[in-house]
C-alpha cells in the first residue's frame, strides 16, 4: 500500500480509493468487445455505483466512453453543472415537471413511455431552443418501465407531431440475464425488441439507436450490441454475477475463443484504527453482548459503521485486512464504528490502515465476498457506501486475473 499517499491524507479517518488505472483498463476491454462503431455508454447512476459521480464520469470519458447514463434528472444536471459536455441519457423516470429543468441543457436525452411527458418536453424544449432526443421504452417481459409495441407506436406518432423533441431510438431492459445461465427468456426479450424495431421501421420511423445491452449482455452476446450498449457494473471492474462469469467460461471455452475479460475492480475502501485496547477473557465487545472473548484479546476500533455503509449484517461475520492479515469483526456493527480482533496481528496502533474492501498484501476482500456475508449482491455493497466517505482518484497496479472472489473460493 502507498504509505506516501496515506500520509498525504492523514486528516481522513476513512475513505475510498478510485483507481484511474482500473477505469482505463475496463473501458479498453469494453471498447475492444463492442468495436468502434457502437456507442459505449457507461452507467454512472447512484453516485457512479457508489464510486463518486463526477470524478468517475470524467475518468470514463477520458478513457474513451462515448455517453454517460444516469437514472434521474438531477444526476444529469449535476454532470452538466460540473462542465461535462458528453451526451447524457436519463434511463429512469423523468416527470413532466422535471423535463423543464433538463431542457435548459443541450445533449440530454430521456427514456420515454408517457404522452404527457412527451408534450411537456416539447413545450420546454421550444422555450429553450434545444431539441430533446427521446428513447421509447419497449415492454419485452420485465414489466417495469415501457410500452407494448402497439402503444409505443402510438407514442412515436405523437412524438413525430411535436416540435422540440425527436425520436432517437427504442430500448428495453433484460429481466434475468444476470441471475441464470439459462438465457432463453432473455433471447425471447431480444426477439421482441427486434420485432418492435421492425414494426417501427415498417411504420416509417427512423431509428438511429436500438439499445438493450447491459453489462452481462455486452460481455456475452455481440448480437445485443446493436448501435449502443449500456454498461454499468462491469465498468467498475465487478462481474454482474457468478452466473455471468460461469456462462462466459462455458460459452467461450466451447467456442475455443479467448474473450474472458480481465475486469479490474475500481474501488478500495479503507479506514484508520482509532483505538487499540485489551479485552480480558470473558469480556464482552459491543452492543447486545453478542461477542464474548474466550481468551485475552486485543481489539482495534475503526471509525465507521452502518451509517457510512459498512453493513450491520457483517456483525460477528466479516473481516478487514490489517498489515496484510485478516482481522475478524467482533460484536455488532455500530452506527459509526466497529471493532475487529487484532490479537494475532503485530504492529497495530492508532493510525494503522485497515482495508474494508480491496487488497493488502496477499489478502483481498472483494465486493462479492462482502455481498455473500450480507446475503445480497455486489451492486449493493458498493452503491451503499455513503457519500460522506471521501473518494480519491489514484493510480494502481492491475490485478493479474479477472476471476471474481466468490464465497465458494474462500478458504
What residues are labeled active site? 45, 287
- Torsion 385-391-397-398 (CA) sign: positive
- Cα separation, 244 vs 344, in Å, equals 38
* C-alpha neighbours within 13 Å on the C-beta side of residue 13: 13
Question: How many CB atoms are located within 10 Å of the residue 129 CB?
Answer: 9
Question: Which residue do the cell numbers 450490441 mark?
Answer: 225
For residue 97, the Cα-to-chain-centroid distance in whole angstroms is 28
The answer to whether residues 35 and 64 touch, using CB atoms and an 8 Å cutoff, is no
The answer to whether residues 316 and 332 touch, using CB atoms and an 8 Å cutoff, is yes
3-state secondary structure the chain: CCHHHHHHCCCCCEEEEEEHHHHHHHHHHHHHHHCCCCEEEEECHHHHHCCCHHHHHHHHHHHCCCEEEECCHHHHHHHHHCCCCCCEEECCCCCCCCHHHHCCCCCEEEEECCHHHHHHHHHHHHHHCCCEEEEEEECCCCCCCCECHHHHHHHHHHHHHCCCEEEEEEECCCCCCCCCCCCHHHHHHHHHHHHHHHHHHHCCCCCCEEEEECHHHHHHCHHHCCCEEEECHHHHCCCCCHHHHHHHHHHHHHHCCCCCCCCCCCEEEEEECCEEEEECCCCEECHHHCEECCCCEEEEEECCCCCCCCCHHHCCCCEEEECCEEEEEECCCCCCCEEEECCCCCCCCCCCEEEEEEEECCEEECHHHHHHHHCCCHHHHHHCCCCCCCEEEECCCCCCCCCCCCHHHCC
297 annotated as ligand-binding: no
144 annotated as ligand-binding: yes
Grid cell, residue 368, equals: 462479492
* Binding region: 144, 335
* Binding region for substrate: 144, 335
Amino acid at each position: 500500500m502507498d504509505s506516501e499517499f496515506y500520509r498525504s491524507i492523514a486528516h481522513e479517518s476513512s475513505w475510498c480509493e478510485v483507481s484511474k488505472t482500473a477505469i482505463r483498463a475496463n473501458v479498453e476491454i469494453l471498447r475492444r468487445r463492442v468495436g468502434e462503431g457502437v456507442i459505449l455508454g457507461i452507467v454512472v447512476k447512484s453516485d457512479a455505483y457508489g464510486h463518486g459521480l463526477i470524478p468517475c464520469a470524467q475518468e470514463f470519458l477520458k478513457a474513451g466512453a462515448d455517453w454517460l447514463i444516469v437514472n434521474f434528472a438531477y444526476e444529469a444536471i449535476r454532470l452538466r453543472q460540473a462542465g461535462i459536455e458528453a451526451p447524457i441519457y436519463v434511463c429512469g423516470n423523468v416527470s413532466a415537471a422535471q423535463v423543464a429543468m433538463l431542457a435548459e441543457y443541450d445533449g440530454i436525452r430521456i427514456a420515454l413511455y408517457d404522452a404527457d411527458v412527451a408534450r411537456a418536453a416539447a413545450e420546454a424544449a421550444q422555450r429553450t431552443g434545444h431539441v430533446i432526443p427521446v428513447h421509447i421504452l419497449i415492454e419485452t417481459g420485465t414489466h417495469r418501465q415501457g410500452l407494448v409495441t402497439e402503444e409505443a407506436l402510438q407514442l412515436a406518432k405523437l412524438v413525430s407531431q411535436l416540435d422540440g423533441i425527436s425520436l432517437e431510438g427504442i430500448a428495453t431492459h433484460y429481466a434475468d440475464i444476470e441471475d441464470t445461465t439459462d438465457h432463453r427468456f432473455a433471447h425471447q426479450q431480444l426477439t421482441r425488441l427486434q420485432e418492435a424495431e421492425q414494426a417501427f421501421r415498417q411504420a416509417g420511423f427512423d431509428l438511429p439507436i436500438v439499445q438493450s445491452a447491459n453489462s452481462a449482455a455486452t460481455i456475452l452476446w455481440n448480437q445485443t450490441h446493436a448501435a449502443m450498449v449500456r454498461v454499468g457494473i462491469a465498468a467498475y471492474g465487478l462481474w454482474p454475477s457468478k452466473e455471468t462469469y460461469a456462462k462466459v467460461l462455458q460459452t467461450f471455452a466451447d467456442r475455443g475463443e479467448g474473450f474472458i475479460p480481465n475486469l479490474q475492480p475500481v474501488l478500495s475502501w479503507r479506514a484508520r484504527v482509532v483505538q487499540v485496547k485489551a479485552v480480558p477473557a470473558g469480556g464482552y465487545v459491543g452492543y447486545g453482548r453478542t461477542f464474548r472473548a474466550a481468551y485475552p484479546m486485543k481489539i482495534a476500533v475503526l471509525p465507521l459503521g452502518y451509517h457510512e455503509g459498512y453493513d450491520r449484517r457483517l456483525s460477528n461475520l466479516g473481516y478487514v485486512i490489517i498489515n496484510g492479515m485478516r482481522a475478524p469483526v467482533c460484536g455488532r456493527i455500530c452506527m459509526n464504528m466497529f471493532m475487529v480482533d487484532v490479537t494475532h496481528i503485530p504492529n497495530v496502533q492508532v493510525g494503522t490502515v485497515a482495508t474494508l474492501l480491496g487488497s493488502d498484501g496477499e489478502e483481498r476482500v472483494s465486493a462479492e465476498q462482502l455481498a455473500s456475508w450480507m446475503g445480497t449482491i455486489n451492486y449493493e455493497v458498493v452503491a451503499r457506501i455513503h457519500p460522506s466517505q471521501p473518494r480519491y482518484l489514484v493510480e494502481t497496479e492491475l490485478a493479474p486475473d479477472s476471476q471474481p472472489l466468490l464465497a465458494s473460493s474462500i478458504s
